[in-house]
Structure 1
Amino acid sequence: MKTLFVAYRVTYLDRSLAFYTALGYVVLGRVDGGDGSHLVILKFPGEPAASLELVHRPAGGRVEGNRGFDHLAIQVDALAATRERLTDAGLEPGPVQYPGGPRGPKTSWLTDPDGYQIELVEWPPGHPDGMTAADFS
């Protein structure tokens, strides 16, 4: 088994789609669910498959992001360059943090239009791709 993607319910599809494409996602596909509902499937250009789905169900009312959900973590190659690009695109990434100390990962946080928290992570040099059991030994 493996995780296929995360699905976020969003209040305004166009606003959320603008945010996530500014973040770097590209649209993989769309599904019209009838009754005004839509699904937009996204991925990062280097990913082989979908990693995020935006779910728009107008009949469901306004979305309260992060209600029962903590955050989405996204690995970046260079946090400083990513923060600069996102700021230039009109997004507001937070300051750089070092949650594991000066030799650990660098992080920055931002919030999407519905209140979902996103953690951007740059691993230190030599760290394997992604988080593994080695991070806890």
Structure 2
Amino acid sequence: MLRVGDLDRAIAFYTDVLGMKLLRKHDNEKYQYTLAFVGYADESEQAVIELTYNWGTDSYDQGTAFGHIAIGVDDIYATCNTIRANNGNITREPGPVLGGSTEIAFVTDPDGYKIELIQMKGATKGLKG
């Protein structure tokens, strides 16, 4: 679950930039929050991300415990080109990790959360470049 300061902006990023689907959205009038679930498939098939918007709160301190979300991709270079074309913020261009051969890149969402893209050999789920 990620707390977001602008739910529409967050949904647009995860759907338009990262290519996820908005699976469902629910308002809780009594406790003044909205939940949106995004993913590449339903949670019966894959993990999904819960975006939580607490009404009237437009930003959060992220703290030091959270690192990043990681997503496996088929073609990290094509994926980054797609993200760039959709005005996504790539903070580390694709390439091998230091001292290794696994190719990664990093993207930051509108609330500052880091998302690591990992080149997956023969992956069938996640972002398509």
Instruction: For 1:41 and 1:98, locate their aligned partners in 2 and report how far apart those are by CA, in whole Å.
Output: 31
Task: Name structure 2 gaps, 5 residues minimum.
Answer: none
Look up the SS of the partner of 2:94 in the other structure.
Answer: coil
Partner in structure 2 of residue 31 of structure 1: 26
In structure 1, C-alpha distance between the alignment counterparts of 2:58 and 2:78, rounded to whole Å:
36
Matches within 5 A, 1:52-71: 52-60=49-57, 62-65=59-62, 67-71=64-68
Distance 1:67 1:110 in 2: 18
Give the corresponding residue for 2:7: 13
CA contact under 8 A between 1:23 and 1:86: conserved in structure 2?
Answer: yes
**Deviations along 1:4-40, whole A, 9 cap, x unmatched?**
xxx1000010111111112111011111111541000
The question of whether the paired residues in 1 share the 8 Å contact of 2:34 and 2:55 is answered with no
TM-score normalised according to structure 2 size: 0.80
Q: Does residue 119 of structure 2 align to residue 119 of structure 1?
A: no
Partners of 2:63 and 2:95 in 1: CA distance = 21
After TM superposition, where is structure 1 displaced by more than 3 Å over at least 4 residues in a row? Answer: none
TM-score, scaled relative to structure 1: 0.75
Q: Note the residue ranges of structure 1 that are not aligned, 5 or more in a row.
A: 1-6, 130-137
Q: How many residues align?
A: 120
3-state SS in 2 of match to 1:96: strand
The RMSD of aligned alpha carbons is 2.5
Counterpart Cα distance in 2 of 1:55 and 1:80: 30
